[in-house]
Amino acid sequence: MAARANIDVERLLAHYRAMARIRAFEEAAERAHQEGHVKGAVHLSIGQEAVAAGVCIHLKREDLITTTHRGHGHTIAKGADTGAMLAELLGRASGTCQGKGGSLHIADFSIGMLGANGVVAAGLTIAVGAAHAVKLRGERRIVVCFFGDGATNRGPFLESLNWAKIYELPVLFVCEDNGFAASTRTRAMSAGPGPDARAESLGIPARTIDGNDVIAVDEAAGELVERVRAGAGPQFLLARTYRLKGHTASDLGAYRSAAEVEARKADDPLKRAAELLKVSGVADETIIAIDAEARAEIAAAWKSALGAPWPAVELAFTDVQDVRMPSWR
Ligand SMILES: Cc1ncc(C[n+]2csc(CCOP(=O)(O)OP(=O)(O)O)c2C)c(N)n1
């Protein structure tokens, strides 16, 4: 790899650290699923870490995010505790939502994370509602809404972008196009030139970038976040990336060849960042130490999650919707 001009090595190291922590978490989540510790589905974001890292570096604790079924990376980058997250995947009492949400429903309001979501495109409406509340209350924070390309073919995408633009809400839409919606290729299901053009058709400025280039994500997100903070209304970022693992942790991926996935590994955002660090003069040992630190953090999370107690039966109806069915109690 060729050296790049004007690299901020410290910032790239911070990105690498964030991505390494997400990667280590996702590998642990995959293992937990394979070993039967997780009930239900797990959607891994391996290969997509640069989007989470490059966007969230611009966010403050009080800023808000919404994410999808594939939300571990965004949640970690926003500042969630990986031990609590892993415990949540395992359904334990020490989990982010006391073990009642699991991977698809992690929410942590203490860090402005309004929730993962199992319903494709549902996070868009929640983000826009939150952004409207922020505007009505005159708060200074902003909202970032992460969603996949598949979500752009659902109605809430249009409704949310339209509402955000009409009310000039403080929201950054981040479309993570990983090439697929479950087993369907994006291009096979999406009419027109792309989600960025759909945003622009509503008057929302859009940027499209290589989502595996963490510096490109950082630069574009920085510009768009600044505009949102300055009151310029909703902005749109389309980050093109690739999902290196199956749609879920149990998906065998029959809709694409192993050779295709292998070829795309050359574009792995961590690999690219590590190569760029090396050609910028960072020693191998520094990168190895960051990887080891990330793995140690997640190993500790694994140990505490596996040893954590199950939620008490008496608390089954606490913090969940009361459906008032006596037979459930
Ligand atoms: C409303 C709705 N329709 C269908 C599904 C089933 N489903 C779960 S994930 C998914 C694909 C979503 O693709 P995309 O938005 O691109 O996100 P990605 O999985 O690629 O991260 C589908 C169809 C769902 N969860 N919700």
Ligand 1 binding pocket includes 178 (Cβ within 6 Å): yes
Closest Cα to atom 25 of ligand 1: 119
- Label the pairing between strands 235-240 and 206-210: parallel
Residue 111 has pLDDT above 60, yes or no: yes
Cα separation, 317 vs 100, in Å, equals 10
| Ligand 1 binding pocket includes 180 (Cβ within 6 Å) | yes
Contact 71, 97 (CB under 8 A): no
Report the pLDDT averaged over residues 277-302.
98
Q: Does the CB atom of residue 189 touch ligand 1 within 6 A?
A: no
Long-range Cβ contacts of 291-295 (<8 Å, 24+ apart): 291/20, 291/24, 293/17, 293/20, 294/17, 294/20, 294/21, 294/23, 294/24, 295/24
User: Looking at the predicted structure, is the pLDDT value of residue 329 above 60?
Assistant: no
Q: Whose CA is nearest to atom 5 of ligand 1?
A: 120
Q: For position 242, what pLDDT does the model report?
A: 98
Is the beta carbon of 228 within 6 A of some atom in ligand 1?
Answer: no
Residue type, 141: R
Rounded Cα gap, residues 163 and 186, in angstroms: 25
CATH number of 9-307: 3.40.50.970
Nearest CA to ligand 1 atom 13: 181
Torsion sign across C-alpha atoms 270, 275, 277, 283: positive
Tens digits of residue pLDDT in 124-171: 999 999 999 999 999 999 999 999 999 999 999 999 999 999 999 999
Q: 121 near 147, Cβ under 8 Å?
A: yes
Q: What is the mean pLDDT of the chain?
A: 96
Res 323: pLDDT? 67
Query: How far apart are alpha carbons 30 and 47 in whole angstroms?
Result: 14
Please tell me if the CB atom of residue 1 comes closer than 6 angstroms to any atom of ligand 1.
Answer: no
Distance 118 CA to ligand 1 centre (A): 8
Question: What is the atom index within ligand 1 of the atom nearest the CA of 179?
Answer: 20
Residue 321 is predicted with a pLDDT of 74
Query: Is 120's C-beta closer than 6 angstroms to any atom of ligand 1?
Result: yes
State in Å: Cα 122 to ligand 1 middle.
10
pLDDT at 286: 98
Residue nearest to atom 10 of ligand 1 (CA): 182
pLDDT tens figures, 212-233: 999 999 999 999 999 999 999 9
Atom of ligand 1 nearest to the CA of 119: 26
Give me the residue spans of the domains in the chain.
9-307
- For the Cβ of 118 lying below 6 angstroms from any atom of ligand 1, the answer is yes
* Dihedral sign from CA coordinates of 122, 20, 64, 222: negative
Buried-state track 76-91, b at ≥16 Cβ within 10 A, e below 16? bbbebbbbbbbbbbbb
Interval 24-43 mean pLDDT: 97
Neighbouring residues of 293: CB distance < 8 A, sequence distance ≥ 6:
17, 20
Ligand 1: which of 48, 68, 70, 120 to mutate, judged by most atoms within 8 Å of the beta carbon? 120
Band of pLDDT at residue 327, cut at 50, 70 and 90:
low
Quote the tokens at residue 190: 């999406």
Average pLDDT over every residue of 228-242:
98
- Using pLDDT thresholds of 50, 70 and 90, give the confidence band for residue 210: very high
Which residues are CB-neighbours of 203 under 8 A, at least 6 positions away? 165
Find where tokens 């966010």 sit: 59
pLDDT at 5: 83
What pLDDT score does 262 carry? 97
Please tell me if the CB atom of residue 171 comes closer than 6 angstroms to any atom of ligand 1: no
Give residue 238's pLDDT. Answer: 98
pLDDT at 77: 98
Closest CA to 314 of 295, 298, 329: 329
Q: Whose CA is nearest to atom 8 of ligand 1?
A: 120
CB 176 within 8 A of CB 120: no
Does ligand 1 have an atom closer than 6 angstroms to the CB of 305? Answer: no
Q: Is the dihedral of CA 164, 216, 178, 107 positive or negative?
A: negative
Q: Is 315 in the pocket of ligand 1 (CB under 6 A)?
A: no
3-state helix, strand, coil in the chain (%, to 5): 50, 10, 40
The answer to whether 89 and 100 are in contact (CB under 8 A) is no
